[in-house]
Structure 1
């Protein structure tokens, strides 16, 4: 018996478990389906290139075939280890646009405006640049400037300025628009995941009980009250009980899946799999949003880019020695070193695309081995209009969920991405790249919108930001209220990216950590 059970140790769950156990009288059990986060591939930033394409600390989900992507199945890597996806992401520290949170408040969620959530971002943060009106110091999440700087990243910035793109030193400051260097969740050149910041320093707390390799299979209920969790560990089923609350933090796929496995969700979906309907909640699994993304990539003969070659191998060996000695250099690279936020239409109130400039020739989530060197750039739609859903594949709790992002179902998303691809190509065509530019990995006639759309539908996919499947609000499809309590169920909250009513305009790790901070405050206030 514990006071609280937290399901999932990702960007939300690590925060909640850590903050609640600051009170030595509060007993918390944290369940994580994955294993410990001890691998050097997690802590050495560039190790993400090895983790991303494989089932290694990674659920490596697939979507259902996507009509908007010519029937292709999308790929959805999610973290399967302490720290969740914050242990396998690109470490970019981005909060989104202030207007994104004002939108949440306007949708009937008081307490979630930018003014309301900024203190939680600052509380979480230890920004090595120092504190100011927008940033905090002393928090568990270390935020740092890059300790790697591949020369090609500066070429990207030179090219951006040559074509009159705005620049920005701080995407989380007073203005989001512009291109520049990303800050990263690193410390001394190592990944600083939610687990590293919130759990690792506190694992010796006698009131924090972390269980890895334990996959939650059902929420235990007494009437309409959540009282515990059934989980599977080493092939055996066991239970833990919560005297006060159960907090789900499995993310946009696992949290709705667990609710439905437990009889909470759309009645027809539950009955289809022979699951007794304990509480009909039609919005569970609905409202899935994700950033659709297209990559423009070029080959290059320059070793100032990253790639697979004899010379590149020698550079990598030298980089390993540098990282071991000084924790600097290419091994500390997040791979996406530059980028930012742009408007595809100057009349827009806020940026509608994000760029991630990558120091190597990335293709298909690094699942295709590309010989030689090159560079590439992601361009994603920040506020897609398309909506998808998550359902059950079966009543088996160990089966993956059915994921349908419904990518590019709305023409507006297609149009925005076409404009974004053209902007990216304009940067790549700038004189700064003349000495580096080889052949495009996938040639496209940029004078033809039809050709660009065909390329997008042939190769676009996620940039790893699924949200919204247990959305916060008070409308009929809302799953949690503004205090993150599941509607109609006592003793059950959700504290992860699934509660976002709309996807924020940026990377989702920092906002989910903020959600964890705010959730912990609300849980403590409720006693």
Structure 2
């Protein structure tokens, strides 16, 4: 292999862009970043409200197996297929999670991943536009700002939540998470600020950094138990590239375990039935898939919501507001306010409630993605695909209750007879009764908010789930047809110190030298909230583990 680099980073997503930028800060280190998708230079990627118009080619859309816990529904799991990965197509929510999440990681076999160690990495990443504080960073590359859409309905929701017992929280990424507050988003002057924009764009002119898009990695190359490079395909041709020091997989929760297994690293039985020689029997590869279950409420209000802002005159006004001030409806993220409530066994938040000042519906329930029709304007949002969402014609708002620490687990496996095809994703989102009970609690908590004044006085009707849903049995029936994924899948290459862990606390793959994983797949458990900010911090720490392994216990530069 004449094509040689010191470090090869596989996957130009949220974590991969950070790793490529941080590792190439050393001009003597040759870094190659391989991304299967295109660049992020697309207007609909950069403009927050444009995400609904994105071409499906920017999303891997991994189709899962039928979910028996939700009437056999088949969904596609989102995964960014472009530079920036999920940070280029997600809802832009910036949520660190709860300090107890990371302390639990450290307590359960991941020393060095407690919040006291992780918090400086969040600050190193952040440029929090409100300003620096004891808890927030202001000199980092990634801009974070409170939501840039001022709307009286959002203010009304915050009032209702406070009357229902949720304290006002000025900064849920600060000292305390519990309470209700305005959402924080990864935006700069109203534009999406992905890791491709924040980290990779300033670094891409470095002579020691090579970025190749349209490069789909097929496997990791091995020699005597050591990763020596990767094989990838681009333009119909297969290439090999050598990694003199390390290969780092940052391909995401689904592609990373798939690549490990295609390379002979994983559960031996699944590898053999797929016709792949076993290089290292690591049973945990592809196990421990976790996801936040979430459902949807629709309320009709007697106030104008963003649903009424699509007239020609108002579209022009919002466009000018965006161009001149970088504010307004064009900057709209997936939600505008958040509630964190309850306390789990670890001390972390149990529930998250997300509010949007517009009413949307998804595809009705179906047994396959293709079968999902749109005849019912209030059809169930089982296939909650952003490209299929429709605004309701009436003044309405959408609110999403979510369980933050579910018990249900799934797997990612190679398909027997077709190992190079799409992986087999098998997860029952409501497979554990405890998760159904927790969802019911979160839903009732949300209903209490809408019953509180002054919000209650503006509610015309609860459109979904509707007043007929009251008893536990009625709630369960609704949830089994209206619960969907929050697009926060993690855990399929779990970090830990036990025999089932895929990577050790320094993110090195068990049994293989020169190979690490750094993305959401290494999370031992879900964090309390949206996962993108946590992936950023993991990537920042991973960069230090790679470039200064002997000294990372010290201060973060």
**TM-score where L is the length of structure 1:** 0.95
Please give the residue correspondences for 1:353-502 in structure 2 after superposition, counting only pairs within 5 Å: 353-363=351-361, 364=381, 365=384, 366=386, 367-373=388-394, 374-393=396-415, 399-431=421-453, 432-443=455-466, 445-502=468-525
CA contact (8 A) 2:266 2:281 kept: yes
Distance 1:489 1:348, change over 3 A: closer
Spell out, residue by residue over 1:45-94, the C-alpha distance to the aligned partner (whole angstroms, 9 max, x if none): 1222334xx62411122221111111112331111110000011111111
Distance 1:169 1:333, change over 3 A: same
Distance 1:45 1:64 in 2: 31
Query: In the alignment, is residue 17 of structure 1 matched against residue 20 of structure 2?
Result: yes
- Which residue of the partner structure matches residue 305 of structure 1? 305
Distance 1:77 1:395, change over 3 A: same
- Structure 1 unaligned runs (5+)? none
Deviation at 1:163, TM superposition (A): 2.1
Of 484-493 and 370-379, more deviation after overlay is shown by 370-379
Query: In the alignment, is residue 251 of structure 1 matched against residue 274 of structure 2?
Result: no
Distance 1:444 1:206, change over 3 A: farther
- Which residue of the partner structure matches residue 189 of structure 1? 190
Secondary structure of the residue aligned to 1:216 is: strand
Spell out, residue by residue over 1:316-351, the C-alpha distance to the aligned partner (whole angstroms, 9 max, x if none): 342123212321110011130101211189x99332
CA contact (8 A) 2:127 2:139 kept: yes
Distance 1:395 1:482, change over 3 A: farther
- Which residue of the partner structure matches residue 141 of structure 2? 140
- Which residue of the partner structure matches residue 199 of structure 2? 198
Distance 1:476 1:142 in 2: 39
Distance 1:319 1:103, change over 3 A: same
Deviation at 1:400, TM superposition (A): 2.1
Distance 1:459 1:314, change over 3 A: farther
Please give the residue correspondences for 1:22-421 in structure 2 after superposition, counting only pairs within 5 Å: 22-51=25-54, 55-300=56-301, 302=303, 304-307=304-307, 312=311, 314-343=313-342, 349-363=347-361, 364=381, 365=384, 366=386, 367-373=388-394, 374-393=396-415, 399-421=421-443
CA contact (8 A) 2:291 2:487 kept: yes
Secondary structure of the residue aligned to 1:504 is: coil
CA contact (8 A) 1:81 1:87 kept: yes
CA contact (8 A) 1:445 1:452 kept: no
Secondary structure of the residue aligned to 1:336 is: coil
Distance 2:313 2:425 in 1: 41
CA contact (8 A) 2:494 2:502 kept: yes
Of 54-63 and 221-230, more deviation after overlay is shown by 54-63
Distance 2:428 2:102 in 1: 24
CA contact (8 A) 1:473 1:482 kept: yes
CA contact (8 A) 2:101 2:346 kept: no
CA contact (8 A) 1:149 1:333 kept: no
Spell out, residue by residue over 1:352-375, the C-alpha distance to the aligned partner (whole angstroms, 9 max, x if none): 011111122233324243441421
Secondary structure of the residue aligned to 2:146 is: coil
CA contact (8 A) 1:295 1:378 kept: yes
For these two proteins, the number of residue pairs brought into alignment is 522
- Structure 2 unaligned runs (5+)? 362-380, 551-557
Deviation at 1:389, TM superposition (A): 0.8
Deviation at 1:445, TM superposition (A): 2.7
CA contact (8 A) 2:300 2:460 kept: yes
Deviation at 1:273, TM superposition (A): 1.1
Spell out, residue by residue over 1:84-126, the C-alpha distance to the aligned partner (whole angstroms, 9 max, x if none): 0001111111111101111011111111111111111111111
Deviation at 1:433, TM superposition (A): 4.4
CA RMSD of aligned residues (A): 1.9
**TM-score where L is the length of structure 2:** 0.90
Deviation at 1:315, TM superposition (A): 2.6
Of 198-207 and 141-150, more deviation after overlay is shown by 141-150
Deviation at 1:406, TM superposition (A): 2.3
- Which residue of the partner structure matches residue 7 of structure 1? 10
Distance 1:310 1:350 in 2: 38
Deviation at 1:476, TM superposition (A): 1.8
Deviation at 1:44, TM superposition (A): 0.9
CA contact (8 A) 2:262 2:420 kept: no
Of 254-263 and 8-17, more deviation after overlay is shown by 8-17
CA contact (8 A) 1:385 1:413 kept: yes
CA contact (8 A) 1:344 1:416 kept: no
Deviation at 1:449, TM superposition (A): 1.1
Secondary structure of the residue aligned to 2:430 is: coil
